[in-house]
Amino acid sequence: MARQVQNPGQRISVEAAAALVQSGMWIDYGAVLSQPDAFDAALARRRDELHHVKIRSCLSARPRAVMASDPEGARFFWFSTHFSGHDRKLHDAGIGHYLPVNLGEIPDYYRRFIDPVDILIVKCAPMDADGYFNFGPANLWHGAIIERARMVIVEECATMPHVMGPGTGVHVSDVDFIIPGDGAALPELPKAPASDVDRAVARLIAAELEDGDCLQIGIGGMPNAVCSLLGHSTISGLGVHTEMLTDGIIDLYRMGKISGQMKQIDRGKIVCSFALGSQYLYDAIHNNPDIEFHPVDYTNLPHIIMQNDRVKAINNTTQIDLQGQAASESDGNRHISGTGGQLQFVRGAYASKGGKSFMCLASTYDKRGEPRSRIVTALTRGNIVTTPRTDMMYVVTEYGLVNLKGRTVAERAKLLIGIAHPKFQEELEREAYENRLIPRGFF
């Protein structure tokens, strides 16, 4: 049933919009670049008037004024479906909390499981001639929230790029109130520089790619290194069906490496659900018909991903055990990011005809000045398994690339020890035998 809006499209002040919030409400800030700024600051100024206001969000691209106003988390409760660095700081301070999700299922959560939102406040491009407010580079699940929200407020943002694709906006007839934005430029995410380790991992992955492959590429130095290598290779005719659009993919697009002509669905189009990067990225997507932003239940669900042949999913993890479990979102009980779309793309790529998924990690990390292995006999206590051992396909470090599909526990352990840092291989092998992961005399 369509939302009932009494007087759609009323323009009110930011202060009047913030005054609509009452104690005990569930407020939704939307996701990524669609999180409001002017409203956030106005709500923060009401701190002393409110209590037990719960705010749901995802990937904050800026610090949130409302939480800075309440450093003890006594009045505002912050919940995120995926942490950015800003959200992580709130969690470290004990005032930010995680909502476990597969990102591609979130629209369904809002329609079936999450109680209706009292107020959705979402930042959009100004209304166009047809009466639509464009979500910009954050299609995601905003349409699903609007279906069930009791009230919808749009914060207009003159600097928001206008993007193409299905469901990329909300009509004024579904909007209760419109408020002015603060006029600030969009937040940018600098491209992570690639290290020598990143480049070594990228070379191993690039050797597995072919003309016409359909790419899903995550964020970070390793995926950026893959894009850089492909940009200077002879590879061509690539397709893209991904969750997040990054500067690295735009680099490939500008170099003529992406055509999408060999895709089975959305031929000729770069398909994504949201974008986060530099102004270079935002300029590239503005009114660009080659790039389509879809709701995340289109980009991320495995049964849709698999419809393209030769999907190559490239993602990062922070720790993997000798059985092939990848922990990509926490450091013990400290939450650092989220499940995101990793597991769904691992499954979608595997189900794709000729598809492959790659889980990338540096072999070591530094802790208090000492190197530690990211390949371990058992995961750190409290670590969350993001991708189960049964789903793991290729694992890549700077020391090699191995395929775990169809391998016994003993074979998996031996293969993963072989791509661990040499400094830790002997210890890992000893522990594998002691914990009966490898039977005596098997090798």
- The catalytic site residues sit at 243
Cα–Cα distance for residue pair 308/394, rounded to 1 Å = 19
Q: Which of 116, 334, 346 is nearest to 218 (CA)?
A: 346
Can you count the helices (H) and strands (E) in the chain? 15, 27
Beta bridge partners of 170: 133
| Sign of CA pseudo-dihedral 242, 243, 248, 252 | positive
CA 243 to each of CA 48, 137, 309, 314, 426: distance values in angstroms, whole numbers, following the listed order: 39, 11, 17, 12, 39
Q: Look at the block and give the residue holding tokens 């591609």.
A: 104
Note the Cα 216 to chain centre separation in Å.
12
Q: What is the C-alpha to C-alpha distance for residues 253 and 257, in angstroms, rounded to an integer?
A: 6
Please, are residues 163 and 271 in contact by the beta-carbon 8 Å criterion? Answer: no
Give the H or E element holding residue 326. Answer: strand 326-327
Report how far apart, in Å, the C-alpha atoms of 371 and of each of 364, 367, 374 are.
6, 6, 10
Q: How far apart are CA 187 and CA 30, in angstroms?
A: 15
Q: Is 108 exposed, middle or buried (0-12, 13-18, 19+ CB in 10 A)?
A: middle
Do 114 and 149 meet the contact criterion of CB atoms below 8 Å apart? Answer: no
* E strand spans, 48-174: 53-57, 76-80, 96-98, 119-124, 132-134, 152-156, 169-171
In whole angstroms, give the CA distance from residue 54 to residue 60: 16
Helices (H), 73-220: 85-92, 106-112, 142-148, 196-206
Rounded distance between C-alpha atoms, residue 74 and residue 110, angstroms: 26
> What is the enclosing helix (H) or strand (E) of 17?
helix 14-18
